[in-house]
Each structure stands twice: as structure tokens, then as C-alpha cells.
Amino acid sequence: MCATASPTAAPLDGVTVLALEHAVAAPFASRQLADLGARVIKIERPGVGDFARGYDQTVHGMSSFFVWANRGKESLTLDLKHPRAAEIVRQLLGQADVLIQNLAPGATRRMGLDFDALHADFPGLIVCDISGYGDQGPYRDKKAYDLLIQAAAGLISVTGTEAEPSRAGISIADIAAGMYAYSGILSALLARARTGKGQRVEITMLEALGEWMSYPLNFAHYGGTPPARTGLAHPAIAPYGQYRTGDGGSVIFGLQNDREWQCFCREVLGNAALAADERFATNLQRVANRDALDAEIGAYLAHMTRDQLIERLDRGGIANAPLNDMHEVWAHPQFAARDRWREVATPAGPVQALLPPATLSRAPACMGSVPALGEHSAQILGALGVSDAQMDALRAERAI
């Protein structure tokens, strides 16, 4: 339930999500539902919880991954292998609109929590399954982690330099899967509003990232060769990429046409005559003579600071951005000017978090608290009719 003051109810107010989730993909999807006002009940393993809680201890002793992907949820500890767990889960499903899970391949099917097993008893329930490769095909039982899917989907093959491929610096396969799970669940909720029927939403990490790889896939399949790895440079445009200034700063900029090249020489480098140099007069010539071009530009930039270069690029209408580190991104003036930071409560004290990118004018994001492990167990189980004595027995058996 969203506590944020709003002129209207949160978009998903009244929607309950049961989450059998860990790591990043499913938690990121369900957190976005929580930001829209859904009640998200996160089932965690007693004693240890979601293993993402232990990824690091950088946020006041908490995991940066967990804090990011789990605000606004209720934490219920429950050993799903305990004899009473199935009864508790089914009671919760009777009140739920969505079940989301990214457990090991086949785990929910073995527990009778797959869509086919649940649909007869819970016809309105939406079941979202997130996996690496799906439940069909030769890879269905294969484990999948973000780095492995980056490799399998070909992202690593087109990322990095000519000499060395590289992974993306964030969990991009998990994030892609989480985004499609989130939008798929919203679509299924809209469909249920018309039909009254729930449905299965299946997301695979390979297919999510495969969609994002469609440009290089088309380029390679129909063109015969894959896009070259060029680091921060552009394979078909010059100048385009990272350029260093005399104070050690780095700026990314790129020119789109010969007109901009002439403006760049005049306004940024202060040498209009360079635009007519036959080695650089057209983009094709600049790409063919990229090393000489970069050396020429570098000689001018060696006498500038990063801020001076950015000011000249802006004055000349040349698209650019500083190559920011994480501290500079945190302090980005645009986030401050647009009031994008909010305080979020956690078991270790308040932290700052960015608002979700989609800004709804009449429904501010809920931005709920990050739960402690098992923080809501007694409240949730009590609402199901579990007595204090029964809860004590479940604790003694390490079931909760």
C-alpha cells in the first residue's frame, strides 16, 4: 500500500504480488510494481533471506543490490520445503493478483506452483516466470547468470575494444528481463480487467537481451560481418568518442555531419582552416584518417580543461557529455534541478534513491521502505489466522 500523498490512488493500489524471488531480475520487476502502489510480499529463506542481501555491505552495511531492488516490499520468511509451507502459500495466493518467481529451473513446478497447477483454483491469478532460457528446448535446465547471458546473447562479442571483449558494467541481462517482466505483468493486469482471467507471463533472460541485440544481429546476419568492437569510438563516424583534455579530464563528443565538422574546427579548436584539410574534409576521409585526426584534435585539447572544452562544444552546438564517474553522477546537477532524489527508509537508517524514470503527474512513486529479513512475518501470518503459539512452533522448527 502506497503511503505517498497523491491526488489519486496509486495506479496499482489494491494489487497484491507474491514474490518467490532472489538476485536481480524478479526483484527489480516487483519493486517497480511496489513503486506503483502494489503490495509485494517477498518470501525469503529463514535465517539468510534473498542471497542478494549478501552481495556486498556498502550501503550502511547492507547490499547495494538489495537496497536498490527491494524497497516497498514486505518480507516473509518461509521455508518452502516445510510441511506447512504449501498451505501458507496457497492461502496467500488466494489473496494475490500476481505470482512472480525466478527460482531454479523447474522448482515451482515441483512444488505445484506453476501456472497450469494453479489456474483451476486461482483463475484470476497472473503467474510470471523468469528464467535464463525458458522451460522448453535444450537449454531449459541450464543455469543462467547475468554474465553468462551477456555471453550467450552476443553482447560481450560486440562490447569492448578490438583487442579485448568486455562485459557491460551493470547486470544488463537481469535488468532487461526485469523490465519485460514488469511490462508483461502490467499487460496481463489490463487483459484481466477485460476478461477476468489470469494468464502466464514467461520471460527468459536470453530472449530479453536478444531483443536488445537486434541491431547487431540484423547487421551481422544480413550484412555478413558483425559490428566491430571499437571501444568508445564509432566505427563509421569521426570524430566520435572519448577525448582527453590537458587537466586529465575526459569528454565524449561526436559530430553528425560535415557542417558540424566545420563548426567544430572554428568554434572549438579555433582553427577554421583545418576543416578544409583534404584528409578530414568529409566524414569518409576523417574515418579513413582517424589516427591522424585524433592526433590533430588531441594537440589542441591538451591546452584546455574539461570544463573549457564542454563550454566550447556547447557554444558550437556539438553534442557532448563528460565521462562521469559514479560520484559525479550522484552529484549530477540535472538530478538536483529536477528534484529526482528521495529518502528511503531501511533497517540501517535512511538512504537516498532516485525516483523511477516514468513520472506520472497524478501519482507520485511510492518509494517504500527496504524490509529487514522477516520483518513482516508475524503480521502476514497473523492475518492468515496463524496463532502466536503456532508461529512460535514454526520458528522453533526454523520454518519461518
Domain CATH number, residue 245: 3.30.1540.10
* 295 plus 361 within the same structural domain: no
* 207 plus 353 within the same structural domain: yes
- Looking at the chain, the whole-number percentage of residues with pLDDT higher than 90 is 96
Interval 3-52: pLDDT, tens: 555 557 899 999 999 999 999 999 999 999 999 999 999 999 999 999 99
* 206 plus 248 within the same structural domain: no
- Looking at the chain, the whole-number percentage of residues with pLDDT higher than 70 is 98
In a domain, 295, yes or no: yes
Question: Quick one: pLDDT at residue 3?
Answer: 59
Asked which of 2-6, 189-193, 335-339, 388-392 is least confident by mean pLDDT, the reply is: 2-6
Which stretches does DSSP call E strand in 182-316? 200-204, 240-244, 250-254
273 sits in the region (left: phi over 0; alpha: psi -120 to 50; else beta) called alpha
Which of 323, 348, 382 is the last residue in one of the domains? Answer: 323
Which of 284, 302, 323 is the last residue in one of the domains? Answer: 323
| pLDDT beyond 60 at 195 | yes
pTM of the model: 0.94
- Give which of 70, 83, 135, 69 is closest to 107, Cα–Cα: 135
In a domain, 1, yes or no: no
Mean predicted confidence (pLDDT) in 229-258: 95
241 sits in the region (left: phi over 0; alpha: psi -120 to 50; else beta) called left
Amino acid at 75: S
Encode 39-54 in three state secondary structure: EEEEEECCCCCCHHHH
Cell numbers given for 176: 532487461
* 266 plus 360 within the same structural domain: no
Which of 323, 343, 359 is the last residue in one of the domains? Answer: 323
* 276 plus 148 within the same structural domain: no
Interval 267-306: pLDDT, tens: 999 999 999 999 999 999 999 999 999 999 999 999 999 9
Interval 340-380: pLDDT, tens: 999 999 999 999 999 999 999 999 999 999 999 999 999 99
Amino acid at 373: L
Amino acid at 356: P
d(CA 262, CA 274): 8
Question: Quick one: pLDDT at residue 60?
Answer: 97
Looking at the 3D structure of the chain, how many domains does it have? 2
* 80 plus 170 within the same structural domain: yes
d(CA 27, CA 178): 8
Interval 212-237: pLDDT, tens: 999 999 999 999 999 899 999 988 89
User: Domain span at residue 367?
Assistant: 16-212+335-396
* 145 plus 252 within the same structural domain: no
Cell numbers given for 30: 516487483
Question: Quick one: pLDDT at residue 235?
Answer: 85
* 126 plus 274 within the same structural domain: no
Question: Quick one: pLDDT at residue 4?
Answer: 54
In a domain, 169, yes or no: yes
- The alpha carbon of 58 is separated from its chain's Cα centroid by a whole number of angstroms, namely 19
> What average pLDDT is seen over the chain?
96
In a domain, 222, yes or no: no
Choose, from 82, 119, 234, 376, the residue flagged as catalytic: 234
Q: Is there a catalytic annotation at residue 60?
A: no
Question: Quick one: pLDDT at residue 2?
Answer: 76
Cell numbers given for 151: 555471453
In a domain, 289, yes or no: yes
Mean predicted confidence (pLDDT) in 131-158: 96
